[in-house]
Structure formats: C-alpha cells, structure tokens
Chain A
C-alpha cells in the first residue's frame, strides 16, 4: 500500500506543478502587472506610484525566464514561493495571506462542517427511508421531488431562502456573520438550511440508487430468510455494504470543507476562504488567488489518496498495490 501511496503522491505533485503553471500562464494572459497595481492602489494613482508599487511587490521583473534573467523572473518566483509555502502578502491590501487563511478557515468550517454532516445524515437517512418504502408513492414522490430539487439553480435557493425565511418569516438574519458563537449560530442557520436544500435532491437520488441496488442482493434475502426485521436489514446490512460508494462521494469532499463554499459564503457575507477566493478573483489579487488554487489542488490530490485508503478500511477485500 505504501508503494501505491507514494506513486499516487508523485502523480499528485506533477498535477499540482501543472496547475501552478496553467494558473500563471492564464492569469498573465489576461492581466498585466499594471492592472494589478491599478486595482490595488486605485485609478487615480500616478505612473510613478504604480511603478513603485510594482517594484515593491516584485512585478517589475520579466514574466518568463530568458537570457540574463533565468532565475530572476516572475515564473521562477511564483514556483519558489508556492513550493516553499511562502505565500507572502496579498496584492490587493498587503495583508499576510497566511493570516487571512487562518482567519477565514474558522468561518468556512463553521458553515461547511455542519452542512456536510447534516447533509450526509439527512441524505443517507432520507434515502434509507425512501428505499425502505420502495415502490410506494413515498418512493416515487421522493424521486420526482429529488429530480426537481436537482434541477433548480443554487442561486434560486439562496435568493428564495433569503426572501422567504429571512425577509418574510423573519426566522434568521438574511446574511452576515459574527465571530461570537452566541450570535454566529443565527447567521449560520439560513445558509446551512439553503445548502441542505440545494444538495438534498442529488444526495437522495444517489444514495437511494445505491441502497436499492443492495436491497436486491443475496445477502439481504438471506438476512430476511433468517428473520431479520426490515429496519435492521436497512441499518445494519444495507448501509454497511453500501459504504464504498458513499465513501467515494464523501471522503473527496472532506479536505475541501476547509476551502469553504464560494457561492454560499459570497451570498451570505460569510468571511471564509470561499469569500477570500471570490475577492481574489474580482480584485486581480494574484498572490492570494494562486495560494488558494495551490491549496485547493493539494487538497484535491490528498482527497483522492484518502478515498483510496478509505476503501481498504470500509471493505477489507480491497487491496491497494
């Protein structure tokens, strides 16, 4: 298994290096260092101020390696910083990027973690329920509702949730965030509800298919013949045996919980890492954007490896080599 993990890690490193290269090339294909400077210090800035800003931030060097500047160029500096985890300061406001990430991780996790856990429990719970009542009107209605729920844009859930639950029913604040836990829960309730509503359709449809496929297998018939009750069969046998597809779906997502949710955070004003990424994109903040993309790609690779490892835990028959 160790050899397998090492091999996958080596592939992962190549993927990350490629991502960093494409990010650099694509970003500077559409953006010039002057634009980054102007966005950071404003349109009113005089040319000398822009030139000084570029110098202070290292954007006065050539983009690509070439004669006379094989080492002293922006591409080499880009790789050096990322590979040594020296993320530096934001181009937009000079704050230390690592501080921003540390500050943003908490708000992101306080949204994504409950949403993830609740979404998983609700998705699996409802799917078991629907599978339990398979081929009844509950099952059929659930499938129709799931497809409907999947077809609606996430933005509509957000706007609808803010309008109905926030504005009309006045149950929760329609947006915002507060660092104190006493008030934070008020702000998190609505995005969590909206996130659950937006994701529940696809979860139920997916897990229901997984469970129903298992329900018709021989071991279930055997269990039933041995006198096991339907509830026991669902929770003890079917759920356990459906763990591989569930894990495939779930473990990949775990590292990304820290990265936050781009849409929910931006729409509900939660100052997490999702918002940070959106701000970096809109603010021409290359230093922050590359850091977030880099961390995202590292998490992606980690998620893939973790998923593979989790198979061996869920099903001892699986061997990685």
Chain B
C-alpha cells in the first residue's frame, strides 16, 4: 500500500468512526444510571460522598464505613428501631446482660450468644477444613475481636473504653513488648500472637455461646460498645486469609460477617452493593422471632400515623439488595433523587426553600408523593473559649467568666440557624442533645438567650465598660480561630463577630488552613473556636467527658479543646459515669450542667437536625440520629418506582433536531456561496 493509498482510506475510516459515535450516542441516550435488568427489583438505591477508610470492624470509626460495617456485621446488642430515648435490645445475644457487681469492686456482664448462628459463606473458612464455606459463630470469635482491639498492629481507635476490661491494658502492653523484643513476632498469625500475650482476665469464654466480661470498675456504657461493629464476632480464618498477601484482599476491604446483608461488590471509589445474607440467623430462623430480626410493633407516638408500624411483626430484612453509588457532589446526587433514581435524600441548601415551606414539605413535593422525615442528631455544636488563655480563660477568675457570659448573651442562635442552616437545628441550652438521658426540654440556660443590656452590664462588671479594654483604651481585641477559609465560612464567623460588636468587643477572624489550625490548637495558641461533637453512643457520659480535665487538649491532647478544668465537675463526672440512668444520676447531671452554665467555657449553639426526603414508594424509614444500622427495616415498592421513573424521565429530543437544522442553515449557504465564488 503506497502512502497515497493510505490517505485515501481516511474518508471511509472517518465515516465508520462517525457512524460508531452516532450509534454509541444513541445507545447511551437515557439518563437511567442503572442497568435495565434492575427494573422492578426490590433494590434500594442510595448515595455516599466519602469512601470508607477501612471496613475492618476493629478500626472503622467513620460514618461512611459504619454505613457498611453496621449492615454486614451483626452485633451482640442493637438499638430499638423506633423507640426514643434510645434503647438497647438483644441482637446476636439472647438478652441484654445486667451488670453483676463483685465483692472486689469489679463488675461482670454475662453474654449468651444465639446458638447455631452462622457466618456468611466465604472461602476463608477452608482454613478450618477443606471444603468448608462457613461455620457457627462462637464466643471465641467475640473474644478474638476484643483481643484485636488491644493489638497495636491493628491500632483500633477505641482502645481507650475497652481498657476498662480487667487486664486489657496489660495484654496490649505485652503485645507491644513482644513486637519490640522479637523480630519475627509481627509476622505470626494473629491468633498465635494473642496466645503468647494472654491472659486477658477481663474476657472469659465460658463455652461456645457464653462469654463473661469483667470490668475493673463500674462502666455501664460498655454495653453501648456491644451495639457497635467494633465488638462483632470476627472469625480468625478471615484475619489470616485476608491479610493482603497471596493475592487475597485485606480484611479492611473484605469483611467476613454475620449480619442481615453481605457485601457482594466493593469498589469504594464508585459503588458498593449489599445483598441479603442467606446465612443470617434472622433468615435461617424466622421462627425465633428474635427482636433484631423482627419489625417492631411499638414505637413513638408519631410512628403509627407516619405508617411506620404497618410492617409490625414481619421478618427482616425487606430489601433484596442495597446499591450505594458514590456522589462526591451534592447537587448531582439531589438531581438524581428528584429524577427517582435515588430513593431517599438529604436536602441541599440550594433547593431547601423549594422543598420545605414553614418546616413542612412544600405542596409541590407533596404532589409528587414525597414525605419528609426529621430527626435531631445526637450532637452538639458550640463556640468554645480556651480556658488556658489569659484573657478569656479561667485564670482571670470572675473577670473572664463575666466576659464569657456576656458574649454568650449576644449570640442569637435562632437567627444563625435561620440564616445558615435553613432552621435545621434545635437551639442548644446545654451540652446534652434531645434523646439523651439528662436532657430536659424545659431547661433554660440563663446565658443562652439574647440580652444585650445584661451582657453590657456583665462586661462593665468585668471591667470592660462598653467593651473597652482599660489597658489599651480601645475595644477589647480577641481572635476567633478557624480552619474554615471558604467564603461561606467567613460569613458564618462574621455573624458571631457582628453579634459581639454590639457589646463593643472587637473580634478578629483568624482563618488558616486545617493543619495550621491544628498546630495552633496543639500549642494552645488560640482564644475562641467553633467546634462540634457527634455522639458515639447515646449516653450523657459521651458528651460531658468533653469538659473533663483528663481530656484537656493542650495538656493531654484530648477532645476537651476548651481546656476546661474544674475539680468539682471532674468529681461529679466520675460519680455520674459509673451510675445507671436513675434519679440520682439525673441530679448529678443537673449539678454538672449548673457548673457549665456558670463557668461558660462553651456557648452552646445547636443540635443539628437531619431532614430526609423519601419518595412515595419508600416505607418504614426513620432517621436514627446516631450512626446505627437501619437498612434491614427499610422497604419499598419497586413497581410504583418504575412507573414514576418512566413518567419523570422522558428525554426532551426536539433540541437535537433544532441543532441539526441550525447547523444545516449555517453551513449550506456558506458552501453554496463558496462553490459559486470558486466557479
């Protein structure tokens, strides 16, 4: 073939390519993001923004990971789906164990596991015998997981609460020592390593279905940790097999679990799929009517009218599959929800006014059959003062206390939530959010409403008359430290600066990047900051510990970023922490609340509210307000969904024809003119 011949092939090749492009474009011309084979199936479609970091249950601590680990890992205990305040019910355990105080001051808990419950099918079980695909869950698997939490190589972020188990810290220390002293120890299988470092007297396997825990001192909150995937039974076979070696994935990417769903597809950058687990005890033994495998028949007063009791008594789960698609941007995700391609959604700020009118679903959305589910998240957002700071901190005694109280009296949180959060927040009066024992709806913090006159009077008493610093003769200058450098963030911070300006105080926003901010916090070089805390479990201890001396950020690098230190508060905390929820505990919490109210290390702002939109074909959804698994309770009507999707997503094709005509109108006269001129 000559050079000229090759060039003659160009036009037909181009033609074929153009034909391929047109066929490709026509085949692609639909906005349905799912394969046609999915139509009519009981699949829940939902989105995720952040990829999970790890699915290893001993490590996974982020909400994104819990969205998966919570559904695939069965826990010994779980939360009642509908009741509030949150209530623990038996899961894989047959009952919720009671604390058994011992003469030596320790406390024991006896767990009984459901006999005959199985792990999901997985090739890893061949390690226990050729051809094995699963095996029964044993108390040893729970003990093994607790040992993994203590393992420095696993580096579990929740090692601290489990240090309440007798001998746990010592077991962990022995593992560390062996890792340092024996070069080959690290590469031994986990089971062998733990055998070498035993005993762990706080965890006793009585027999295959009985496990006894011994705590050094009362710590009732330990039960909440058994409602989280950290303490799920993990088979040793999975840890050995999924080591990231021999072509096998790492356990962090391949959970081997026992929950109602199993992870059948995991590409965390784009898609995660859960399918029903046929080995789940609820699926194998629906006749047990176990609390964790049966839809509840009682709940809050609002659940009946909302239709959430229609499935009462039915066996779980209802869905065949859950399909998670990654959506890094919120607007495309919300658009797909409006097109019917996601079944539930949060509400983006840009569309809030269209979706919600007067805190209710707008008539347009109601006409589409949508419903709105609201819940208060077990969290608190606050402005904190660095109590180590010489001006706003505790060392200045009453002067700084009155300054903090005055600043609190200037902040209108209702206006803040209206301007920046579409009112999706309950104004906070204290540290504790609704739904947590110790929260009292009728409590009013005297410093958490706007009273500028009282604020000015307090400032005068503090020596800052009209906000003037007597040392400089100028308005008192403070800094508000943040890592939020976005324009939106600037507006939010400016809101507070403007509020304090009304008192005559000059607050400067010191916005830096996250790393620099962390550096400032680490060095104690900050005055005022805005922070939040989302509960791990629904107990007052999980909020009030944020203000204890042991947790001070600057001294101990703990989460008490205000560096608040009050001996009486610390003493009350210890007393409160070890008590069950009884009237005496409530009284202690009230005293602690009084100290925080008076000392004002925080300006409590709000408890965020979660607004979820549900399509008409979705049933039983109730937001938990906590990071807990709920998908086994959700249900939907796939045929109604298909009908609505078809009606809502007919492509608009006339612009394509219009464009083609326009191109012809532009090109043809030009070509004709050209040919005429050249002739």
The smallest C-beta distance from B652 to any residue of chain A, in angstroms, reads: 5
Taking the complex as formed, is B556 at the interface, i.e. its CB lies under 8 A from any CB of chain A?
yes
The smallest C-beta distance from A313 to any residue of chain B, in angstroms, reads: 13
Instruction: Flag if B28 contacts A172 (CB, 8 Å).
Output: yes
Instruction: Flag if A266 contacts B328 (CB, 8 Å).
Output: yes
Interface residues of A in 15-53 (CB under 8 A from B): 30-32, 34-35, 38, 40-50, 52-53
A49 to B157, CA, bound (A): 6
Interface segment among B47-55, B432-440, B610-618: the answer is B47-55
* Secondary structure dominating the interface of A: helix
Question: For residue A48, which residues in chain B have a CB less than 8 angstroms away from its CB?
Answer: 159
Instruction: Flag if B651 contacts A44 (CB, 8 Å).
Output: no
Instruction: Flag if A275 contacts B269 (CB, 8 Å).
Output: yes
Instruction: Flag if A230 contacts B678 (CB, 8 Å).
Output: yes
Instruction: Flag if A46 contacts B33 (CB, 8 Å).
Output: no
A41 to B335, CA, bound (A): 32
A182 to B33, CA, bound (A): 11
Question: For residue A32, which residues in chain B have a CB less than 8 angstroms away from its CB?
Answer: 515, 518-519
Question: For residue B515, which residues in chain A have a CB less than 8 angstroms away from its CB?
Answer: 30-32, 35, 284
Identify which of A56, A174, A185, A275 contacts B155 (C-beta below 8 A).
Answer: A56
Taking the complex as formed, is A80 at the interface, i.e. its CB lies under 8 A from any CB of chain B?
no
A186 to B518, CA, bound (A): 43
Taking the complex as formed, is A68 at the interface, i.e. its CB lies under 8 A from any CB of chain B?
no
Question: For residue A168, which residues in chain B have a CB less than 8 angstroms away from its CB?
Answer: 652
Question: For residue B336, which residues in chain A have a CB less than 8 angstroms away from its CB?
Answer: 173-176
Taking the complex as formed, is A166 at the interface, i.e. its CB lies under 8 A from any CB of chain B?
yes
Instruction: Flag if A104 contacts B34 (CB, 8 Å).
Output: no
Closest to B648 in A: A170
Taking the complex as formed, is A121 at the interface, i.e. its CB lies under 8 A from any CB of chain B?
yes
Instruction: Flag if B335 contacts A167 (CB, 8 Å).
Output: yes
Q: How many residues of A are counted as interface, with CB atoms below 8 angstroms from the partner's CB atoms?
A: 74
Q: How many residues of B are counted as interface, with CB atoms below 8 angstroms from the partner's CB atoms?
A: 77
Instruction: Flag if B651 contacts A171 (CB, 8 Å).
Output: yes
The smallest C-beta distance from B272 to any residue of chain A, in angstroms, reads: 12
Known: A42-B61, A271-B269. A185 touches B518 (CB 8 A): no
Closest to B4 in A: A236
Q: Binary interface profile of A, 262-274, with partner B (CB < 8 Å = 1, else 0)?
A: 0000110111000
Instruction: Flag if A30 contacts B513 (CB, 8 Å).
Output: yes
A155 to B73, CA, bound (A): 41
A56 to B152, CA, bound (A): 9
Instruction: Flag if A185 contacts B28 (CB, 8 Å).
Output: yes
Known: A40-B53, A118-B21, A235-B10. A183 touches B33 (CB 8 A): yes
Taking the complex as formed, is A216 at the interface, i.e. its CB lies under 8 A from any CB of chain B?
no
A23 to B207, CA, bound (A): 56
Question: For residue B456, which residues in chain A have a CB less than 8 angstroms away from its CB?
Answer: none
A168 to B656, CA, bound (A): 13
Taking the complex as formed, is B584 at the interface, i.e. its CB lies under 8 A from any CB of chain A?
no
Known: A166-B335, A169-B652, A186-B33. A269 touches B270 (CB 8 A): yes
Question: For residue A266, which residues in chain B have a CB less than 8 angstroms away from its CB?
Answer: 328
Question: For residue A116, which residues in chain B have a CB less than 8 angstroms away from its CB?
Answer: none
Identify which of B152, B335, B556, B559 contacts A174 (C-beta below 8 A).
Answer: B335
Question: For residue B556, which residues in chain A have a CB less than 8 angstroms away from its CB?
Answer: 47
Taking the complex as formed, is B626 at the interface, i.e. its CB lies under 8 A from any CB of chain A?
no
A82 to B25, CA, bound (A): 41
Q: Binary interface profile of A, 234-263, with partner B (CB < 8 Å = 1, else 0)?
A: 011000100000000000000000000000
Q: Quick one: which of A38, A173, A180, A235 has the most chain B CB within 10 A?
A: A173
Taking the complex as formed, is B655 at the interface, i.e. its CB lies under 8 A from any CB of chain A?
yes
Instruction: Flag if B33 contacts A44 (CB, 8 Å).
Output: no
Identify which of B157, B341, B519, B655 contacts A44 (C-beta below 8 A).
Answer: B157
Closest to B654 in A: A169
Taking the complex as formed, is A95 at the interface, i.e. its CB lies under 8 A from any CB of chain B?
yes
Closest to B10 in A: A235
A96 to B252, CA, bound (A): 11
Identify which of B53, B250, B269, B328 contacts A104 (C-beta below 8 A).
Answer: B269
Question: For residue B160, which residues in chain A have a CB less than 8 angstroms away from its CB?
Answer: 46
A23 to B97, CA, bound (A): 55
Taking the complex as formed, is B674 at the interface, i.e. its CB lies under 8 A from any CB of chain A?
yes
The smallest C-beta distance from B304 to any residue of chain A, in angstroms, reads: 37
Question: For residue A93, which residues in chain B have a CB less than 8 angstroms away from its CB?
Answer: 51-54, 252, 268
Instruction: Flag if A38 contacts B559 (CB, 8 Å).
Output: no
Question: For residue B275, which residues in chain A have a CB less than 8 angstroms away from its CB?
Answer: none
The smallest C-beta distance from A98 to any residue of chain B, in angstroms, reads: 12
Known: A42-B61, A170-B649, A174-B332. A133 touches B33 (CB 8 A): no
Instruction: Flag if A94 contacts B328 (CB, 8 Å).
Output: no
Taking the complex as formed, is B465 at the interface, i.e. its CB lies under 8 A from any CB of chain A?
no
Interface residues of A in 34-88 (CB under 8 A from B): 34-35, 38, 40-50, 52-53, 56
Question: For residue B326, which residues in chain A have a CB less than 8 angstroms away from its CB?
Answer: 176, 269, 271
Q: A167-B335, A189-B25 are in contact. List 19 more A-B contacts (CB 8 A).
A: A31-B515, A47-B557, A47-B558, A49-B156, A49-B157, A49-B159, A93-B51, A95-B253, A121-B14, A133-B674, A162-B332, A162-B335, A170-B31, A174-B332, A175-B333, A176-B33, A186-B31, A279-B51, A284-B515
Closest 4 CB pairs between A and B? Answer: A271-B269, A175-B332, A271-B270, A47-B557
List B residues at the A interface (Cβ < 8 Å): 4, 7, 10-11, 14, 17, 21, 24-25, 27-35, 51-54, 61-62, 152-153, 155-157, 159-160, 244, 250, 252-253, 267-271, 325-329, 331-333, 335-336, 339, 341, 513-516, 518-519, 522, 536, 556-559, 649-653, 655, 666-667, 670-671, 673-674, 678
List A residues at the B interface (Cβ < 8 Å): 30-32, 34-35, 38, 40-50, 52-53, 56, 92-96, 100, 103-104, 107, 118, 121, 125, 132-133, 136-138, 141, 162, 166-180, 182-183, 185-189, 230, 235-236, 240, 266-267, 269-271, 275-276, 279, 284
Q: What are 28 A-B residue pairs whose CB atoms fall within 8 Å in the complex? A: A31-B515, A41-B155, A49-B156, A50-B557, A52-B155, A93-B268, A95-B253, A103-B269, A121-B14, A132-B674, A133-B670, A136-B673, A138-B666, A141-B666, A166-B31, A166-B332, A167-B335, A170-B649, A171-B651, A173-B341, A178-B33, A180-B35, A183-B33, A183-B34, A185-B28, A186-B28, A271-B269, A279-B51
